[in-house]
Structure 1
Amino acid sequence: METSLHQQLKQLYADEHDRREVSVDGYRIDAVVGEQLIEIQSASLGALREKVRTLLDSHDVLVVKPLAARKLLVKRARRGGKVQSRRRSPLKEDIFSVFYDLVHFVDVFPHPRLTLHVLLTEQEEHRVPARKRRWKSKDYRVEDRRLVSVLETHEFREAGDLAALIPADLPQPFTTEHLAAATDQPRWMAQKIAYCLRKTGAATMVGKTGNALLYEMQDAAQRAA
C-alpha cells in the first residue's frame, strides 16, 4: 500500500499539471515532469536497479530517496484509532546513510541521464499492534509514514558529488578506519562508503597496510600526478 510519505513526495515533485502514475516502456512511473521520469523510493535502491537501468536507455530519470533525519513514533491501539503515545525515535539517519543502499545501486549510478536526490526529512511513523507475534518479531507493524518537512536536499549526478561528502582532512591514502573517524560513522558503514567510492571511480584501491586495504581519493591521485 502506498504510504502518505510517498504520496506527499510525488506532490512535491510533480504538480497538478504534470503526469503521475503513468506507464512508460512497460513500467509504472511515479511521475513524468517534462521529459524526465521521477521515481520516489523509500525502500531499497537495489529494488529499482533493473528498472532504472532499462529506462536510462531512452529517458532521463530522477530517483528521490528520503531518509529520516528525525522521526516521531505515533502509537495507536488499532488502525485509525486514538493516539496512545508519541515519542521521538532515537534512530536518526544522516547523509552517509545513503551508502547503505547505494552499495546495491553503484552498477547503475553514475550515469549521464541519472540524477539522485537524497532528502533528509522529518517524518511521522504510525504504528499499530502486530496481528500475530512470531519469535523475535516486532510487536507492532507500521501503518503509515508521513512527511513533516524536508530539512535538506542533496543532489548527486556524478562520482565527484559523492567524493564531496568526504572531509578534506581525510589522510591519503586511507583505510576504512580513517574513513570511519573522518565521517563519524561506524566501521561497517565506512566499509560501505569505501566500496561505493571505489565502484563509482571516486576512489581507487592502492595497496594494503597489514590486513587493511588502502584507498586514495581520485582527486588526490590526480593532484599528485
Structure 2
Amino acid sequence: MESSLHRQLKALYGGARGDCEVTVEGFRIDAVSRGRLIEVQRASLAAIRTKIAALLANHPVTLVKPIAVRTLIVRRDVPNGPVVSQRYSPLKRSLFHLFEELVFFGTVFPHPRLRLEAVLVEQEERRISRARRRFNGPQHRVEDRLLLNVVSRRTFRTAGDLATLLPAALASPFHTRDLAEAAGVPRWLAQKAVYCLRRCGAIDSVGKVKNSVLYARRARLGRSRRAA
C-alpha cells in the first residue's frame, strides 16, 4: 500500500505539469516531468536497482530517496481512534546515511542519465497497537507515514558529488575510524561510505597502517553544479 509520504513526494516532484503513475517500457513510473522519469523510493534501493538500470538505457531518471532526519511517532489503539501517545523517535539520521543504501546501488550509480536526489524530511509515523502480539514481534504495526516538512535536498550525479560528503576537516590519508570521528557517525557507516566512494572512483586505497587500510581522495573529480 502506498504511504502518504510516498504520494506527497510524488506530487512534489511531478509538479503541476507532471503526469503521475505512467507506464514506460512495461514499468510503472511514479511521475514524468518534462521528459524525465521520476521514481520515489523510501525502501531499500536494492529493490529498485534492476528497474532503474533498465530505464536508464533510454531515459533520463531522477531517483528520489527520502531520509527521515526527525520522526514523530503517533500511536493509536485502533485506526482513526484517539491518539494514545506521541513522541519523537530517538533515532536521528543525516545525509551521510545515504551510504547505507548506496552499497546496494553501486552497479547503477553514477550514470550519465541518472540524478540521485536525497531529500531530508521530517515525517509522522502512525502506529496501531497489535491486539495480539507475535512472539518476540513488534507491539505495533505502521499504518502510515506522512511528510511534515522538507528540510533540504541534495542532488548527486557524479563520483565527485558523492565525495563532497567527506568532511572538509578529514585528514589525508585516512582510515575508517578517522572518517567516523570526523563525520560523527558509527564506524560501520563509515565503512559503508568508504566502500561506496571507492567503488565509484571517488577515493583510492593508498596503503596500510597495521591492519587499517588508508584511503585518499582522488584528484580532479568532476562535480555537478547543482550538487555543490
TM range, smaller chain: over 0.9
Pairs within 5 Å for 1:95-134: 95-130=95-130, 132-134=132-134
State the Cα distance separating 1:179 from its structure 2 match: 0.6
Distance 2:51 2:21 in 1: 15
Aligned equivalents of 2:86, 2:55: Cα separation in 1: 41
Counterpart code for 2:43: A
Cross-structure match for 2:177: 177
User: What secondary structure does 1:54 align onto?
Assistant: helix
Shift of 1:79: 1.4
Q: Does 1:19 pair with 2:11?
A: no
Q: 2:199 matched to which residue of 1?
A: 199
Distance 2:80 2:99 in 1: 35
Residue 6 of structure 2 is matched in structure 1 by 6
Percent identical: 51
The 3 A distance-change label for structure 1 pair 131 and 56 is: farther
1:36 aligns with 36
Are the counterparts in 2 of residues 126 and 143 from structure 1 also a CA contact under 8 Å?
yes
Letter in 1 for 2:94: D
Task: Give yes or no for contact 1:121–1:148 (8 Å, CA) kept in 2.
Answer: yes
What residue identity is the alignment partner of 1:164?
Answer: T
Q: Which range moved further: 133-142 or 143-152? A: 133-142
The unaligned stretches of length 5 or more in structure 1 are none
| Aligned twin of 2:189 | 189
Conservation of the 8 A alpha-carbon contact between 1:172 and 1:220: no
Could you say what secondary structure the match of 2:78 adopts? Answer: coil
Q: What is the distance in 2 between the residues matched to 1:17 and 1:76?
A: 37
Shift in Å at residue 194 of structure 1?
Answer: 0.4
**Residue in 1 that maps onto 2:85:** 85
Give yes or no for contact 1:72–1:88 (8 Å, CA) kept in 2: yes
Q: Distance in 2 between matches of 1:205 and 1:136?
A: 43
Unaligned runs of 5+ in 2: 222-228
- Aligned-partner SS, 2:58: coil
SS of the aligned residue for 1:191 comes to helix
Secondary structure of the residue that 1:63 maps to in structure 2? strand
TM-score (norm 1): 0.95
Specify whether residues 38 and 211 from structure 1 end up closer, same or farther in structure 2 by C-alpha distance, changes over 3 A only. same
Residue aligned with 1:219, SS: coil
TM-score (norm 2): 0.94
Report the Cα distance in structure 1 between the residues aligned to 2:160 and 2:132, rounded to whole angstroms: 47
Structure 2 counterpart SS, 1:145: strand
SS at match of 2:148: strand
**Rounded Cα–Cα distance in structure 1 between residues aligned with 2:189 and 2:8:** 30
Q: Specify the alignment match of 2:62 in structure 1.
A: 62
Runs of 4+ in 1 over 2 A off after TM superposition: 130-136
Work out the CA distance in 2 between the residues paired with 1:73 and 1:107: 35
- TM-align CA RMSD: 1.3
Residues 71-127 of structure 1, C-alpha deviation per residue, up to 9 Å, x if partnerless?
Answer: 100001111211111111111110011111110011100000000110111100000
